[in-house]
Structure 1
Amino acid sequence: MNNNDIKILLVDDEPDILEIVGYNLKSEGYKVFTAENGVEALKSAKKNIPHLILLDIMMPEMDGIEACEKIRKIKSLENVIIAFLTARGEDYSQLAGFEVGADDYITKPIKPKVLISKIKSLLRRLKAGSENEEENTKIGDIVIDIDEYVIYKSGKKIELPRKEFELLSLLTSKPGKVFKREVILDTVWGSEVVVGGRTIDVHIRKLREKIGDDYFKTVKGVGYKFVLKGMDK
């Protein structure tokens, strides 16, 4: 997938941000669509099916958190990469973003070259995924469908946001193995993507709610591991 095949939706209520960031993205060859609020973002996303959405939080009509939550419920957009690009850097804002399915959180102001680097890092995961054809993985009563980004537990379909799916895939790749927090962050979010220390905890909590608390064990001060019934005795 070349840059000119990639579609990016830039959402911000500040015209200067749309112009400056949009210009830098177009200079890299990306196809750029813009919206000034969450309502416009939803319409554009449904129409254009972007690969990546850069989403501001504080906007009129519909803020970024609500827009992200709605986007994640749309079947055709379930695998789109969503990164918040916002001046709000408080921990609770970041946690709110990850709670509704964001993949990354980028704080403004940011130098154009640094932003482009972060975007390339996110898109590398998209490209790797499109080139990687893997068979379904079965572990215990859980089947992981790599192509569809869904899992089945005891035959019941469970849809997961991209990062929750990738985190589960990592942990289930070696059941019983303790994955250190830094390894999880580097593998799932990428070394060039800076996220808060509580990001993993939020995603693990979501997986526990959807799949079951007993599958995920916390190793204090180290990380997490995936276990099957009887494995951890």
Structure 2
Amino acid sequence: MMVTTSPLPTKRLQSPMSEIKVLVVEDYQPLAETLEYQLQRAGYEVHRAADGREALEQASLLLPDVVFLDVDLPVLSGVEVCKQLRANTKTRGTLILMLSALGEESDQVVGFAVGADDYVVKPVESYKVLLQRLKALLRRREPIVDDHDSVTHKGVTVDRRRFVVTFQNEPLKLTRSEFRLLDTLIRQPGRAFGRGELVDAALGEDTMVLERTIDVHVRALRKKMGAAADLIETVRGVGYRFQE
């Protein structure tokens, strides 16, 4: 086994909350107003949209850092909006927090499958907790502090500083969560990671989702890795590992 690394320490970048733009996409006005109030009170710049089409227009114009996205929207559903945001190069990296009254595991799986970064079940019982989840999302997009900036194993290279993944020198387009998931696995080839560990690594320790949700991210990651998909091995009863 050979794992190569190149040292390059980085520092976390911090931005005042007032510089962070949040787009709230919610057609139920009382909830939209409450979210707007709570976010503004916490210091965020807040914009609102009431249907799916308006959400896409606002997102393309404003380029928000975060989108609070209701699933059950008029004109275009939140699922379709999420798909289109991920397909647009200008909004592909936008953090998306889905809001839905549908709380079954299958509903959450659909949300994460189309590219959501977090999933919150309505009604929102604690706005304090919701704001903490938002902070966790924002921390996830910050540069990772580590002595080894890049790692290469089995032809796959993960470069943290440039946020780039390649397989046999061909770039792979991954979401932020997929990138963190692969980065965690490849740095310890052969080690079996539990689903809970991978949820913390890919989605953040403050994210409250079902552990099986990580299976959706692994399936999406394998699909994008193509011929390298088999390098991520399933460990029955445990989770996953990167081939040693």
Indicate whether the TM-score tops 0.5.
yes
Give SS of 1:129's match. Answer: coil
Q: Quick one: which of 101, 106, 112 aligns to 1:98?
A: 112
Partners of 2:195 and 2:240 within 8 A in 1 = yes
| Paired position in structure 2 for 1:223 | 239
Partners of 2:173 and 2:224 within 8 A in 1 = no
In the aligned structure 1, how far is the partner of 2:147 from the partner of 2:90?
20
Quote how far apart the aligned CAs of 1:79 are: 1.7
Query: Is 1:159 paired with 2:173?
Result: yes
Give SS of 1:43's match. Answer: helix
TM-score with structure 1 length normalisation? 0.90
State the aligned residue count. 227
Q: Show CA shifts across 1:62-109 (max 9, x none).
A: 001010011011112222111101111122221111111111100111
Distance 1:146 1:74, change over 3 A: farther
Q: Which has the higher contact order (CA 8 A, sep 6+)?
A: 2
Query: Is 1:194 paired with 2:208?
Result: yes
Mark the runs of 5 or more structure 2 residues left unpaired by the alignment: 1-14
Match for 2:127: what amino acid? P
Partners of 2:231 and 2:242 within 8 A in 1 = yes
Q: Show CA shifts across 1:172-214 (max 9, x none).
A: 1111111122211222222221112221111111122221331
Once the two structures are overlaid, the 10-residue window that deviates more, 11-20 or 138-147, is 138-147
| Paired position in structure 2 for 1:61 | 75
Once the two structures are overlaid, the 10-residue window that deviates more, 208-217 or 31-40, is 208-217
Partners of 1:57 and 1:65 within 8 A in 2 = yes
Query: Is 1:47 paired with 2:61?
Result: yes
Partners of 1:171 and 1:225 within 8 A in 2 = yes
Match for 1:220: what amino acid? R
| Paired position in structure 2 for 1:213 | 229
TM-score with structure 2 length normalisation? 0.86
Quote how far apart the aligned CAs of 1:159 are: 0.5
Give SS of 2:240's match. Answer: strand
Distance 1:147 1:76, change over 3 A: farther
